[in-house]
Amino acid sequence: MNSSKSKIVFFKIFDLSIMLFSLNVSLIILGYTEEHIGSLYDLFQVKFKVINLILLSFFTLIWYQIFRQVGLYQNRWLESGKGEWKGLTKAVLTGSVLLLVLAVGFRRTNLTWDVVLCFAVLDFALTRAGRRGLRLGLRWWWQHSPRCLLLVGSNPRAHNFALHVLSQPQLGYQIIGYIDDPPNGQSYGVLSLSLKQLGSLRDFEAVIEREVVDEVVISLPMRSCYERIQRMLEVCEQQGIQAHLLSDFFTLRLAHARTMDFDGMPLLTLATSRPSWWSACMKRAMDVTGALLLVLLLSPLFFLIALLIKLLSPGGPVFFVQTRVGYNRRLFRMGKFRSMVPNAEHLQPVLEAVNEANGAVFKIKDDPRITPIGRVLRKLSLDELPQLFNVIRGDMSLVGPRPLPLRDVQRFEALWLKRRFSMKPGITCLWQINGRDHKDFDAWVRQDLEYIDHWSLGLDLKILVQTIPAVLRGTGE
């Protein structure tokens, strides 16, 4: 509905405007130097104008993303503001620290620590006060200028929708009534809400002519009422009245419905997870940046491990490369430092009888194929380091479900296990930080699905941070 989206847009524009205003005022007050006054205008007059424009644009996007990830655009804070100061404090502090890091990293001499501190205090105060005022203003506007809504249908879906509208007056909608042809003339969904019945389905055009109607919400069953719905949509289209179809046609436990435009064709999309394009881009940027930095920093360790494998495990290659199953069951070649004897894959069928893991995976605690140097590498997860190149190539992510070999995937029996392929595989995951020696395959996959269902950039950062002590503890192999 338009009012909810408009409210979010208002808050986003307001927050970004306050951020730019606070930064400008802080630079004017404290950014004065002998050479120039430290305003945003002067910030663009220095030698590298393009760099400053890029930095400001980047910081604005990051600021928006921080507010979004903290949850400052969720209804619980947009409606009442209760507890908003906690999320706002976290967002402003995080953004201010990032601003200081950018200032130091790119040598922006105007952005000193006192300027950033002034910016943080000013932005918090103005945003907190302004959001409260904006909430009150929008609530007054929508409550005194409500949009009149006609409900078509009186089934349980219509009841749930009407109940939500009636319980949220700040949305700015007034249900003028409903029309339907219920069995025996009785409405079986919205009757308990005391809504006025304005007529039957055949009276739709007459009701539109008689009543003030801004929007129409249709909750009729699609199969039995297709022609009626088609006619109603045509009437709304002819008269310029906005029409909505409740899209919960199917009973689904995990998937969520959303509409999208596919090259001009409207689609109703059902998906279990729906990260925004911005979040997906940020995840990819974090993957590439993190992987490149780790490769550069750990390059001496790469050479040391390769040398040790050659000296302590001669007769085989440094790297072990195997086909793995990735995102949406795409096959890719994954690399690891070799931790087993050269003919390990050929020996696996012989060891199948002593497999200690239940389910589809193969796992033996004291696998005789592992070399002495390989056992150390596995204990500290150093054998996984070459997968950083898979991350750079785009086959993997830093965080995600671990990629499985073909042998394991071919043994999947339950369909729900395959949902782990709905996200790009990663080097580390929840299973990695919760105990890698866990042999219950179903529990492992449930942790993967928990990650997929609750994915966020914050969760990725949390897993990355917790991976370090988990690896140092060396729990499992």
Average pLDDT over residues 377-382: 90
Q: Which CATH architecture has domain 146-246?
A: 3-Layer(aba) Sandwich (3.40)
pLDDT at 175 over 50: yes
Tell me which of 359 and 162 has the higher pLDDT.
162
CA angle (281 as vertex; 255, 119 as ends), nearest 5: 110
Average pLDDT over residues 120-128: 91
pLDDT at 30 over 60: yes
Q: Are 338 and 345 in contact (CB under 8 A)?
A: no
Query: For the chain, what percent of residues have pLDDT higher than 90?
Result: 27
State the pLDDT confidence band at 151, using cuts at 50, 70 and 90: very high
Question: Can you give the pLDDT at residue 182?
Answer: 67
pLDDT at 1 over 60: no
Q: Are 324 and 405 in contact (CB under 8 A)?
A: yes
Cα distance between residue 255 and residue 247, in whole Å: 12
How do residues 400-451 score in pLDDT, each as one tens digit? 999 999 998 988 878 888 888 889 999 998 887 876 555 577 788 888 988 9
* Mean pLDDT estimate for the chain: 82
The SS3 assignment for 193 reads: helix
Question: Can you give the pLDDT at residue 48?
Answer: 45
pLDDT at 80 over 70: no
Task: Supply 5's token pair.
Answer: 């989206």
153: region left, alpha or beta (phi > 0 left; psi from -120 to 50 alpha): left
Question: Can you give the pLDDT at residue 5?
Answer: 65
Question: Can you give the pLDDT at residue 44?
Answer: 46
The SS3 assignment for 320 reads: strand
The highest-confidence range among 63-67, 136-140, 318-322, 452-456, by mean pLDDT, is 318-322
Pairing of the two strands 426-428 and 397-399:
parallel
Question: Can you give the pLDDT at residue 185?
Answer: 47
Domain assignments of the chain as residue spans, ordered by start = 2-143, 146-246, 277-473
Which of 199, 136, 187, 135 lies closest to 162 in space, CA to CA?
187
Tell me which of 278 and 328 has the higher pLDDT.
328
The gap between the terminal CA atoms of the chain, to the nearest Å, is: 51
Which of 409, 474, 395, 406 lies closest to 441 in space, CA to CA?
409
Q: Are 124 and 22 in contact (CB under 8 A)?
A: no
In what side-by-side order are the strands of the sheet with 215-218?
A: 197-199, 173-179, 147-152, 215-218, 242-245
Query: For the chain, what percent of residues have pLDDT higher than 70?
Result: 80
How do residues 391-405 score in pLDDT, each as one tens digit? 999 999 999 999 999
pLDDT at 157 over 50: yes
The SS3 assignment for 342 reads: coil
pLDDT at 186 over 60: no
The SS3 assignment for 242 reads: strand
The highest-confidence range among 20-29, 72-81, 302-311, by mean pLDDT, is 302-311
Residue showing tokens 């980047």? 58
How do residues 236-269 score in pLDDT, each as one tens digit? 988 888 888 886 666 666 666 666 666 667 677 7
Question: Can you give the pLDDT at residue 189?
Answer: 60
Question: Can you give the pLDDT at residue 466?
Answer: 86
State the pLDDT confidence band at 37, using cuts at 50, 70 and 90: very low
The highest-confidence range among 86-95, 185-194, 274-283, by mean pLDDT, is 86-95
Tell me which of 1 and 378 has the higher pLDDT.
378
Question: Can you give the pLDDT at residue 301?
Answer: 95
Average pLDDT over residues 214-234: 89
Average pLDDT over residues 287-291: 90
Tell me which of 169 and 366 has the higher pLDDT.
366
How do residues 327-372 score in pLDDT, each as one tens digit? 988 999 999 999 999 988 888 888 888 888 777 888 888 888 999 9
pLDDT at 78 over 70: no
Task: Supply 266's token pair.
Answer: 């409207």
Cα distance between residue 120 and residue 112, in whole Å: 12
Average pLDDT over residues 315-338: 93
